[in-house]
């Protein structure tokens, strides 16, 4: 299976990201409960993949509730799908793509379950095309901004094919640049506490044959200070109208360090990640994750009983620290 998330008859099929890198396996989800649970425990994750999950979830709900004639017209059924849609959309609060995907599929509900399914399935193909174009635009910009060849790139979290239906965003830029022979290596932040960098990005870079080194998130500023980084590439979960960016916790610290060392800092995302209704990043809801993600490592307690925890899954990087936000339509925001 090349797609991270797909539709199979009446089921949503996902690559189980909790099992990687030990095992590459798929899960077949046939109920809304299963899909919401998979979203919450990050078995499917990454903003573009969450958009697809939301849309396919509405399709699944519309099919589960459709009447004998194949329509979902009855008020009870419509209300049931709307309730499922809200559960899906609120399963994680920060990535705007999730609610965007849900609402786009839901808009087709008056035309019946097959129309919802067709819309959701079309969004899968679209996701790959859009992210390929956004990362192509960003790759061109990187080549214009950075003179050194080959390039030494630094990235955070996982923004590859595992974070989307296929291809990816910031890691999609690495794919374009690597294919053109422009990548010396990628420094991949391990991405505490859930290790999307070491579990997923390292796995993808190995799959692509891109030379890489893992580093603790806290080593990234030192790597910049010692001249090991030409450019930083990250994705986004939500971009506000003014260019403020919500992304995986640690992104803000990276942007501060990059600015300190005059290293270009690029954000790559599809338009569906841009929330023009929010004037700035202060309005973005940042997901708080369970304390156990910090108090335990691989199931073993590493903090005293009763330790209080601050565990936001995301942070806000102000637009002034971002060199450019790049989408499939081009450069959305450039630091002035």
Positions that interact with ligand MRU (CB under 6 A): 42, 45-48, 95, 157, 159, 163-164, 168-169, 196, 235-237, 247-248, 313
- CB nearest ligand MRU: which residue? 235
Q: Beta-carbon neighbour count of residue 236 at 10 Å?
A: 30
d(CA 259, CA 320): 9
Q: How far is the CB of 182 from ligand MRU (least distance, A)?
A: 21
Give yes or no: 237 in active site.
yes
Q: What's the chain's Rg over C-alpha atoms?
A: 20
What is the widest separation between alpha-carbon atoms in the chain? Answer: 67
Residue pair 258/189 in contact by the 8 Å Cβ criterion: no
Q: How far is the CB of 225 from ligand MRU (least distance, A)?
A: 24
d(CA 111, CA 36): 25
**Residue 92 known to bind ligand:** yes
Considering the candidates 6, 237, 244, 315, report the single residue annotated as catalytic.
237
DSSP 287: P
Which one, 113 or 284, has the nearer CB to ligand MRU?
284
Which one, 95 or 183, has the nearer CB to ligand MRU?
95
Q: How far is the CB of 248 from ligand MRU (least distance, A)?
A: 3
Q: Is 126 exposed, middle or buried (0-12, 13-18, 19+ CB in 10 A)?
A: middle
Q: How far is the CB of 58 from ligand MRU (least distance, A)?
A: 20
**Residue 112 token pair:** 């019946």
**Residue 47 known to bind ligand:** yes
**Residue 152 known to bind ligand:** no
Does residue 138 sit in helix, strand or coil?
A: helix
Which one, 109 or 328, has the nearer CB to ligand MRU?
328
Phi, psi of 239 (to 5 degrees): -120, 125
Which one, 59 or 194, has the nearer CB to ligand MRU?
194
**Residue 196 known to bind ligand:** yes
| Binding residue positions for substrate | 45-47, 92, 196, 247-248
Active site residues: 237
| Binding residue positions | 45-47, 92, 196, 247-248
């Amino acid at each position: 299976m090349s797609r991270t998330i797909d539709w199979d008859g009446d089921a949503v099929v996902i690559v189980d990201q909790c099992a990687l890198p030990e095992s590459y396996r798929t899960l077949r989800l046939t109920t809304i409960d299963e899909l919401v649970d998979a979203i919450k425990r990050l078995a499917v994750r990454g903003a573009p993949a969450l958009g697809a999950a939301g849309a396919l979830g509405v399709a699944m709900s519309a099919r589960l509730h459709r009447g004998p004639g194949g329509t979902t017209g009855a008020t009870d059924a419509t209300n049931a799908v709307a309730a499922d849609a809200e559960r899906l959309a609120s399963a994680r609060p920060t990535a705007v793509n999730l609610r965007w995907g849900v609402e786009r599929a839901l808009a087709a509900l008056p035309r019946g379950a097959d129309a919802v399914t067709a819309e959701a399935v079309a969004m899968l193909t679209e996701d790959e095309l859009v992210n390929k174009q956004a990362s192509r635009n960003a790759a061109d910009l990187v080549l214009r901004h950075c003179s050194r060849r080959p390039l030494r790139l630094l990235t955070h979290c996982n923004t590859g094919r595992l974070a989307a239906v296929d291809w990816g965003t910031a890691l999609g830029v690495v794919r374009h640049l690597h294919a053109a022979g422009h990548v010396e290596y990628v420094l991949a932040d391990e991405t505490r506490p859930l290790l999307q960098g070491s579990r997923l990005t390292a796995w993808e870079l190995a799959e692509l044959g891109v030379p890489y080194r893992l580093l603790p998130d806290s080593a990234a500023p030192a790597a910049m200070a010692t001249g090991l980084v030409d450019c930083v590439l990250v994705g986004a979960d939500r971009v506000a109208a003014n260019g403020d960016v919500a992304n995986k916790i640690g992104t803000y610290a990276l942007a501060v360090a990059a600015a300190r060392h005059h290293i270009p800092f690029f954000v790559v995302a599809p338009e569906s990640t841009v929330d023009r209704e929010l004037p700035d990043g202060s309005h973005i809801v940042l997901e708080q994750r369970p304390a156990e993600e910090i108090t335990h490592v691989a199931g073993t307690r590493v903090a005293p009983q009763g330790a209080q925890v601050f565990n936001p899954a995301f942070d806000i990087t102000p637009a002034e620290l971002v060199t450019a936000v790049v989408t499939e339509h081009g450069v959305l925001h450039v630091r002035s």
